Chains A and B, each alone.
Chain A
Amino acid sequence: MSRHSVPALLRANSQADRVVPPSGFTARLTVFSAGAMAFLAVFAMALSFATGRLADRWSQELARTATVRISAPEGQLAAQTAAVLAVLETTPGVAAARALDEAEERALLEPWFGPDLPLDALPIPQLVEIIESAEGFDAEGLRLRLQAEAPGAVLDDHTRWREPLVGAAERIRMLGLLAITLIAATTAAMVSLAANSALAANGQVIRVLRLVGARDSYIARAFVRRFTLRALAGATAGTLLGAIAIALIPKAQTADGFLTGLGFQGAEWLWLLILPPAAATAAFFATRLAAFRSLRKLS
């Protein structure tokens, strides 16, 4: 296998390359296909990284806060709020708990009801903001204790609506990885088709080589080398163009923006470097398989 490895192939003699006549059109198609696939792979990769970051951010930011909502008759609200705060102070995993004052609640409601909301006239529930410590608290245990101390208190630890969001982000990330796999498989399939057409078009060349005593591996190498180099060149160009396109996407400042977050950060850019060799490797094995299969059919 060592004689047929990809690095050995790149060093291989040019004479073996010349025994197969140059085929302009198939060559250009192979380069173009590899380039287009690499370009698409760049975006699939960017999508996977972006959704991965989004999922991480959502789980981290939302996991650190929770809210207790207290709905009680007018007279009991203050008492229940005090009870809730007392419970929270003795709950392990709660770093801080604070009842929101009227102005803060008004600010929260303003976007929905306008600035002239008569807050006094409405039975607005009291909100208590909880900041978790790093280890977090036991939500079920806290819920039971709150129920006992303040029947009108409801703990909302955000898990309920955080989980589907994170799940969706993870699913999109899986789809991105699946897209990369499909792109790799399609590249191999297209190179196989191109190699088969080249092998069929060069039947006479292959016959002459067999007649003068060339072994199958020599003949296969001439084709394999050619298609591997084409895929490498095409994928390099495609990756480069894809990277430039990603870099040129206008940056918006909204941290939660999904589409504007599409791209690579820091070391993530280095992952692009595996695309050209991956395409070359796919082409290498696809052509090798096609070459040996079609050579075995000949005398």
Chain B
Amino acid sequence: MIRLDNVTYGYGATELLSGISVHLQPGSFHFLTGPSGSGKTTLLRLCYSDLTPTSGQVTLFERDAKTLSRDDVARMRRRIGVVHQDCQFLDHLPIAENVALPLATAGRRDEASDLAELLAWVGLSDRAQALPPELSGGERQRAALARAVIMSPDVLIADEPTGNVDWEMSLRLLNLLVELNKMGKTILIATHDLNLIRAAKAQVSARVLRIRDRQIQLAGADL
């Protein structure tokens, strides 16, 4: 699905990530962890072609990311759902329209009947007409998740999806992600919440990738 081969990325002269090789198999469940500022978000952005590596190769759906045109990138992002750390909503549109935005931009508004079902799944049916700034942190995260999956993507990437929600809400979000994984989606979650990883491991066979010293390591049984 997504493959990084010997990828290096740096902002300016400093390298943030170097020699990273990761392969996300279809249907796998990965956590990405590491201290703040270690490059978790950067690694995720490389995975949906928001950043281009300084060196090395990123392969998305069997295609070298370097060869993708702007329209190819747009089409590819319809196959990769992303829950961004700061959610990235259009604040002037109600939640229902924000969640349906990927359908609208892809010209597939006729499938909007799934929208009510999806909002019910993330427990936001009664908040459909609220504007994003009116929602709580947990509601925004769940709305972001709903938007990420509305196109029925093959891969779901989430950046700190439980960043500013309480433990109960974290578990609810995790359950939603586990459900998606059981439906066959490839999941990649960046988090520094070790309790969340432990909770997930009880439900699915999740692998943990840890960024340390600009390198990626497969974390062992210490979790």
Asked if A and B are interacting partners, one says yes
A215 → chain B closest CB, angstroms: 4
Complex: A213 Cα to B79 Cα, angstroms: 9
- Chain A residues positioned under 8 Å from B107 (CB to CB): 218
Contact with A along B89-124 (1 / 0, CB 8 A): 111110001000110111101000000000000000
The answer to whether B104 touches A21 (Cβ under 8 A) is no
The answer to whether A299 touches B77 (Cβ under 8 A) is: no
Find the A residue at minimum CB distance from B105: A214
Among residues of B, the one whose C-beta sits closest to the C-beta of A210 is B74
- The interface residues of chain B lying within 8 Å CB-to-CB of A218 are 105, 107
Q: Does B222 contact A (CB under 8 A)?
A: no
The answer to whether A18 and B93 touch across the interface, beta carbons within 8 angstroms, is yes
CB distance from A198 to the nearest CB of B (A): 14
Complexed CA–CA distance, A67 and B61 (Å): 91
Q: Which residues of A contact B70 (CB under 8 A)?
A: 215-216, 295-296
Q: Is A208 an interface residue (CB 8 A)?
A: yes
Asked whether, in the complex, the Cβ of B102 is within 8 Å of the Cβ of A212, the reply is yes
**CB distance A213 to B75 under 8 Å?**
yes
Q: Are A15 and B104 in contact (CB under 8 A)?
A: yes
Q: Does A77 contact B (CB under 8 A)?
A: no
| C-alpha spacing A213/B73, complex, angstroms | 8
Known: A18-B93, A208-B89, A213-B106. A299 touches B50 (CB 8 A): yes
Give chain B nearest CB distance to A148 CB in angstroms.
Answer: 84
B71 near A215: Cβ-Cβ < 8 Å = yes
Count of interface residues, chain A, beta-carbon cutoff 8 Å: 22
**A contact residues around B188 at 8 Å (CB):** none
Does A131 sit within 8 A of B, measured CB to CB? no
Q: Which residue of A lies closest to B147 (CB)?
A: A212
**What 1/0 mask marks residues of chain A from 193 to 214 whose CB sits below 8 Å from any chain B CB?**
0000000000001011111111
Chain A interface, DSSP helix/strand/loop, else mixed: helix
Q: Which of A16, A21, A216, A296 contacts B71 (CB 8 A)?
A: A216
Most buried by B among A13, A22, A210, A295: A210
| A22, A209, A216, most chain B CB atoms within 10 A | A209
Contacts of B147 in A (CB 8 A): 212
Residues in A whose Cβ lies below 8 Å from that of B71: 215-216
Pairwise interchain contact A21-B105, C-beta atoms closer than 8 A: no
Q: How far is the CB of B102 from chain A (nearest CB, A)?
A: 4
B169 to chain A, nearest CB (A): 23
A binding-site residues for B, Cβ under 8 Å? 13, 15-16, 18-19, 21-22, 205, 207-216, 218, 295-296, 299
**B interface vs A, CB < 8 Å?**
50-51, 70-71, 74-78, 82, 84, 88-93, 97, 101-102, 104-107, 109, 147, 151
16 new A-B contacts at CB < 8 Å, known A211-B77, A216-B74:
A16-B104, A18-B97, A19-B101, A21-B90, A21-B91, A207-B88, A210-B74, A211-B50, A211-B82, A212-B102, A213-B74, A213-B105, A213-B106, A214-B74, A215-B74, A216-B71
